[in-house]
Amino acid sequence: MSKQVKLTAQPRAAAGKGETNRLRRSGRVPAILYGFAVEPTAVSVDDRELYHALHGPAGRNALIALDIEGASTLVVVRDLQRHALRRDTLHVDFVAVDRNARIEVDVPIHLVDVDDVARDGGYLNHVRHAVPIQVRPLDTPDFIELSVAGMAIGDVKRLGDIIPMLPEGADIADDADRVIVTITAPTGGGATEDAEEGDATAAAATEGAADGDAAA
């Protein structure tokens, strides 16, 4: 389950492009805090500290204990704006959450036992790489492991198959019939050879008919 990541924020002036540009030049990211039981507050955070907070096991789903002048608030990142070319962070929204109420997050799906797929010539297609779930913040899993051991051509795993793996009280927030992974038969080789053989047979029959007409 996700662990809280500590991140320190400082209050900032709420408006002014000059102020936000000054913060970015000094290595800080302008941000806003809003949500459960807090007043909207303009803050800034250290760019490197934010990067490390969002590149742990939970990624963007990290639960952050945001400290502002000694007061800690449990938050998640809801919007993160990046520069189109440089990819540096321009602004971030921190949303305060109630630790006892469910939130919706996208959790990565990791396939395991890939080497144990049936050796019948099928291709493994990982269609869905994340699942939206409703879960209490502190119960949010970093990822969900789905075994594909024994899957053969024609087999399918769906979102409904991961429900037993979710934390207590959590549920998927999407159609349970959506496909996660399939095993499909190879295409092209056998069908092409059959088609070529059929063409050759048809050509031979045509030539034979033409020879018969000539003889007549």
Write the CATH number for 57. Answer: 2.40.240.10
Residue 45 sits in the same domain as residue 117: no
Does a structural domain hold residue 56? Answer: yes
Residue 65 sits in the same domain as residue 118: no
Task: For residue range 25-61, list pLDDT tens digits in order.
Answer: 999 999 999 999 999 999 999 999 999 999 988 888 8
Residue 29 sits in the same domain as residue 51: yes
Residue 37 sits in the same domain as residue 119: no
Residue 44 sits in the same domain as residue 86: yes
Does a structural domain hold residue 216? Answer: no
Q: Count Cβ atoms within 10 A of the Cβ of residue 92 and give its class: 0-12 exposed, 13-18 middle, 19 or more buried.
A: buried
59-72 per-residue burial string, b: 16 or more CB within 10 A, e: under 16: eebbbbebebeeee
Residue 64 sits in the same domain as residue 124: no
The pTM of this model reads 0.76
Contacts 24+ apart (CB under 8 A), 53-60: 53/5, 53/7, 54/80, 56/5, 57/2, 57/142, 57/143, 58/2, 58/3, 58/5, 58/140, 58/142, 59/108, 59/142
- CB neighbourhood size of 40 (10 A): 9
Does a structural domain hold residue 190? Answer: no
**94-119: average pLDDT:** 96
Domain count, the chain: 2
The residue written with tokens 């500590």 in the block is 6
Is the pLDDT confidence value at 20 over 90? no
| Domain finish residue from 76, 96, 116 | 96
Q: Count Cβ atoms within 10 A of the Cβ of residue 78 and give its class: 0-12 exposed, 13-18 middle, 19 or more buried.
A: middle
The parent domain of residue 133 ranges over 103-184
Does a structural domain hold residue 191? Answer: no
Task: For residue range 126-135, list pLDDT tens digits in order.
Answer: 999 999 999 9
Does a structural domain hold residue 38? Answer: yes
Is the pLDDT confidence value at 173 over 60? yes
Does a structural domain hold residue 11? Answer: yes
- What's the pLDDT band for 137 if we cut at 50, 70, 90? very high
Residue 117 sits in the same domain as residue 66: no
